[in-house]
Amino acid sequence: MLLRPLLHGQGVTSCRLVRAYGVLTSQRRILQAQCCEQMSLAKVDEARYGEQLSAKADKLREKFADFSLPELEVFDSQTEHYRMRTEFRVWHEGPDLYYIMFQKPAGDSSKAHERVRVDQFPVGSKLINELMGKLMEEVKEHPAVLKEKLYQVNFHTTVSGQAMVTMIYHRKLGAEWIAAAQKLRKVLGACPSSSQPSVHIVGRSRKQKVELEAAHVIETFTVDGRQLTYKQVEGAFSQPNGGMCEKMLAWAKRMTRGSSEHDLLELYCGNGNFTIALAPNFRKVVATELSKASVAAAEFNLEANDVTNVSVARLSAEDFTAAWRGKKDSRRAEGLNLKEHDLRTILVDPPRAGCDEQTNELLRDFENIVYISCNPDTLHANLQRMKETHKIRGFALFDQFPYTEHIECGVYLQQRQ
């Protein structure tokens, strides 16, 4: 049994098997999938993957039926081992402990979340699965130092085989913990899918962060035959489905080909994921992002990939828009020398809530718009404003989150003549 829901209450005295989910294979009953940092559990049935993806495509076409649409391009995912990162709470039960996640009971969304035991996690990368077991064995071997008050474990892996594990405690971490965690790094590095001799471990407790040896991983994606490297930082956003991310980058690059006479504005740029892949398509690029850690990662990534035509600034989309409209002074926006640019294409990849009202209005100023969205509802609402002025030229479904309801998609719009 891989995953078991546990009684939600004090202590855990009884576990029951999850037959109710009706999953076909005995090994894959319930899996976790995470959408935009939001945890949920999903049924996995590889045999029905194609059918589920077709249903998502139909839903998306229907949702956008009020637009004149080109053919929808549908990009399928690996059906297992596609998630590069995940978070588990740790449940202590007497001398035992194991990973848990939370999910709503099937068929009744009004009920409280229930705990689900997770011993293996087939939607997670192979490396996550290897690390999960090894880490738990080691923690049990060293109850006083690694196990005591361990509250949560986050795994972040890459297609390139790197890994970072964050262990969160309800107690201060001292020299003894550091020594034990250093040994654990090597044990985890010996996992067959690891490309590092020892993985990075970050220890956290209240007001304390211990980095062994770093709080990031280096991902490698291949886009258009070009190898791109990305520093992905602990706690900052990175696309969860690595294989799908490569497909998204290739699609956006294809959509914006032939733009080398003018410049790109990108909002919500994260660690420079799209920025670095698309920069060769443009003369110059201006990219902005709210998170300080992501901006620092983006700067690192530009240098690591020898990208020299991009300026990055830490600015919220709201502040950038206000500065663009001349409604607010911003030293950071001034530093971007916007007047020296010929910004005709805009790329946005906002959180689930979509673009705020002003930023949404700003999109209309641009000849070309690339909008990447993890929420078709907010995308559809945001695009209403563009109906009269722009036409959808490219439309894609990226199946970032197989076996869940979640849909990631991209649209490419061009101004009407």
Ligand X SMILES: C[S@@+](CC[C@H](N)C(=O)[O-])C[C@H]1O[C@@H](n2cnc3c(N)ncnc32)[C@H](O)[C@@H]1O
- Binding-site residues for S-adenosyl-L-methionine sit at 239, 268, 289, 349
In the structure encoding, which two tokens stand for residue 224, read together? 């258009």
Please report whether residue 289 would count as binding ligand X according to CB under 6 A: yes
Question: Which ranges of 85-224 does DSSP label H, i.e. alpha helix?
Answer: 126-141, 175-189
Q: Which of 287, 286, 278 is nearest to 258 (CA)?
A: 278
State how beta strands 408-415 and 368-373 pair: antiparallel
In the structure encoding, which two tokens stand for residue 105, read together? 């009971």
Nearer to ligand X, 242 or 402 (CB): 242
d(CA 225, CA 404) in angstroms, rounded, equals: 31
Q: Which of 128, 145, 127 is nearest to 203 (CA)?
A: 145
Please report whether residue 274 would count as binding ligand X according to CB under 6 A: yes
Side chain identity, residue 198: S
CB of 302 to ligand X, least distance (A): 14
Nearer to ligand X, 27 or 227 (CB): 227
Burial letters 134-155, b for 16+ CB under 10 A, else e: bbbebbeebeebbbeebebbbb
- Judged by CB under 6 A, the chain residues 291 through 310 that form the site for ligand X are 291, 294
Q: Which stretch binds ligand X (CB under 6 A): 102-110, 172-180, 270-278, 334-342?
A: 270-278
CB of 254 to ligand X, least distance (A): 16
- Judged by CB under 6 A, the chain residues 32 through 71 that form the site for ligand X are none
Q: What are phi and psi of 247, to 5 degrees?
A: -70, -35
d(CA 149, CA 143) in angstroms, rounded, equals: 10
CB of 361 to ligand X, least distance (A): 15
Q: Which stretch binds ligand X (CB under 6 A): 210-218, 268-276, 303-311, 331-339?
A: 268-276
Report the chain's terminal Cα–Cα distance, integer Å: 60
DSSP string for residues in 11-23: S---B----TT--
CB of 362 to ligand X, least distance (A): 12
Please report whether residue 351 would count as binding ligand X according to CB under 6 A: yes
In the structure encoding, which two tokens stand for residue 258, read together? 């032939």
Site track for ligand X across 185-204, x = CB under 6 A: --------------------
- Assess contact for 263 and 343: CB atoms under 8 A: yes
CB of 318 to ligand X, least distance (A): 6
Q: Which residue is nearest to ligand X (CB)?
A: 270
Determine which one of 35, 191, 355, 374 is catalytic.
374
Please report whether residue 349 would count as binding ligand X according to CB under 6 A: yes
CB of 275 to ligand X, least distance (A): 8
In the structure encoding, which two tokens stand for residue 255, read together? 């959509």
Q: Is 374 a catalytic residue?
A: yes
Nearer to ligand X, 167 or 355 (CB): 355
Q: State the DSSP code for 70.
A: -
Residue choice 242, 270, 376, 394 for contact with ligand X (CB under 6 A): 270
| Residues known to be catalytic | 374
Q: Where along the sequence are the contacts to ligand X (CB under 6 A)?
A: 237-239, 268-271, 273-274, 289-291, 294, 316-318, 349-351
